[in-house]
A = this chain, B = another copy of it.
Amino acid sequence: MYSFNNDYSEGAHPKILEAVLQSNLTQNDGYGLDHHCEHASQLIKKEIGREDVDIHYIVGGTQANLITIGTALRPWQAVIATDKGHINVHETGAIEATGHKVLAMPSADGKLTPTLILQALDHHTDEHMVQPKMVYISNSTEIGTQYTKAELEAIHHICRQKGLYLFLDGARLGAALTSSVNDVTMEDIARIADVFYIGGTKGGALFGEALIICHPDLKTDFRYMIKQRGAMLAKGWLLGIQFEELFQNNLFYDMALHSNEMADILRDGIKECGYSFYSESMTNQLFPIFPDKIVEQLSKDFLFSIQENIDESHTAIRLVTSWATREEACRQFVHTLKAL
């Protein structure tokens, strides 16, 4: 039974584990104040082409989201996201638990637009309503789509104009930046977003997200919030070591590219069989729509999750590939599908 259930079913790239192993008995300062973290941050600053940022390493994405949003917003402020946004659906109300409303704007393709942002602003005009102050987008999105540079620039522009912080959830940023249709660079991201993170968990690390704060307002006392929310790893260098590896020798991009290439095999095979997709994803998450019978058959050999029942006889499933996905498993999936 091969799993396409998600992109965190395996451990980490062997180089990362090796680096952890190597430093195991060396004494380090705790809480991210070590030189692995320091060095990783230098590498990332080089990668994004900016020195004037603060970088923090957080174990997981939900933490990164709730700490960032909880720090950026005053108690009566809200964050705008799509209805499919990870913070809106799949974090058990983590943002609300920090006291803030998520203004979820309906979006068929999982992407936010200036129009949707303006709609949210238009409906929140005085002190009887929450005050929108941050925009949250994911790239790639929760349904595998991705933003073009022009789209990101437009969102950036409207945020600047309206005094909104722009937060980019990059849990799957690698997949976005290495997809075949991408025209965005890491430098673009760091110029466009006020704060963003580069996902390690879904990008081939054991765990960890590198949170990069560009906007000066968001930098102050940030470590207090990390500690308070229980997100300051005692042995913080474990995060630093992993991001050192990720941003040496192109490892981060190579792994993301592999995940996309594995998805390409699946996508091409599924298209050849004539099936359509729930979303137009060119990244490592695919949402093919199959007759229920096919879904049932496939589930005998492969693990995957159900996205949505499309009609009474069709279902969109979710297939996810990763840095560790084996090519023959993808080919086998296509082979099985064709044989059904």
Chain A residues at the B interface, C-beta cutoff of 8 Å:
2-3, 5-6, 8-12, 14, 17, 20-21, 23-30, 59-67, 70-71, 74-76, 78, 89-94, 96-102, 127-131, 201-202, 206-207, 221, 223-235, 238, 324
- Please measure, in the bound complex, the distance between the C-alpha atom of A275 and the C-alpha atom of B234, giving whole angstroms: 31
Report if A234-B60 is in contact (Cβ < 8 Å); known contacts: A17-B20, A99-B96.
yes
- Partner of A230 from B17, B26, B66, B99 at Cβ < 8 Å: B66
Q: Name A128's contact: one of B78, B91, B100, B231 (CB within 8 Å).
A: B91
Q: Which residues of B contact A235 (CB under 8 A)?
A: 8, 11, 201, 206-207
Inter-chain contact B17/A224, CB cutoff 8 Å = no
Known: A23-B11, A76-B92, A238-B206. A127 touches B227 (CB 8 A): yes
Q: Are B27 and A10 neighbours in the complex by a CB distance under 8 Å?
A: yes
Which residues of chain B are near A5, meaning CB under 8 Å? 29-30
A180 → chain B, closest Cβ, in Å? 26
Flag if B3 contacts A27 (CB, 8 Å).
Answer: yes
Residues of chain B within 8 A (CB-CB) of A97 are 75-76, 99, 228-229
Q: Is chain A's binding surface mostly helix, strand, loop or mixed?
A: loop
Q: Which residues of B contact A30 (CB under 8 A)?
A: 5-6, 8-9
| CB-defined contacts of A225 to chain B, threshold 8 Å | 75-76
Contacts of A63 in B (CB 8 A): 230-231
Q: Is the CB of B20 within 8 A of A11?
A: yes
Give the residues in chain B near A99, CB-CB below 8 Å. Answer: 93, 96-99
Could you say which residues of chain B place their CB within 8 Å of the CB of A206?
A: 20, 235, 238
Q: How far is the CA of A221 from the CA of B231 in the complex (A)?
A: 22
Q: Which of B23, B67, B223, B324 contacts A25 (CB 8 A)?
A: B324
Nearest-Cβ distance from residue A211 to partner chain B, whole angstroms: 13
**Once the chains are docked, how many angstroms separate the CA of A75 from the CA of B225?**
7
Given contacts A62-B232, A74-B221, A96-B96, 9 further A-B contacts (CB under 8 A): A9-B27, A11-B235, A17-B20, A61-B234, A91-B230, A92-B227, A101-B102, A127-B224, A131-B221
Contacts of A71 in B (CB 8 A): 74-75
CB–CB B127/A221 < 8 A? yes
Does A90 lie within 8 Å of B207, measured CB to CB?
A: no
Instruction: Tell me the smallest distance from the CB of A144 to a CB of chain B, in Å.
Output: 18
Q: What's the least CB distance linking A3 to chain B, in Å?
A: 5
How far, in whole Å, are A92 and B21 apart by their CA atoms in the complex? 32
Return the chain B residue nearest A238 by Cβ: B206
Contacting residues, chain B, for A102 (C-beta < 8 A): 101
How far apart sit A254 and B92, CA to CA, in the bound complex (Å)?
A: 39
Q: How near does chain B come to A78, taking the closest CB pair, in angstroms?
A: 6
Complex interface: chain B residues within 8 A of A221 (CB): 74, 76, 127, 131
Can you list 12 A-B pairs with a CB-CB distance of less than 8 A? A2-B27, A10-B26, A10-B28, A17-B20, A59-B230, A64-B230, A76-B221, A92-B129, A93-B100, A94-B230, A127-B226, A229-B230
Q: Flag if B227 contacts A128 (CB, 8 Å).
A: yes
Report if A8-B234 is in contact (Cβ < 8 Å); known contacts: A127-B227, A223-B127: yes
A130 surroundings in chain B (CB, below 8 A): 92-93, 96, 224
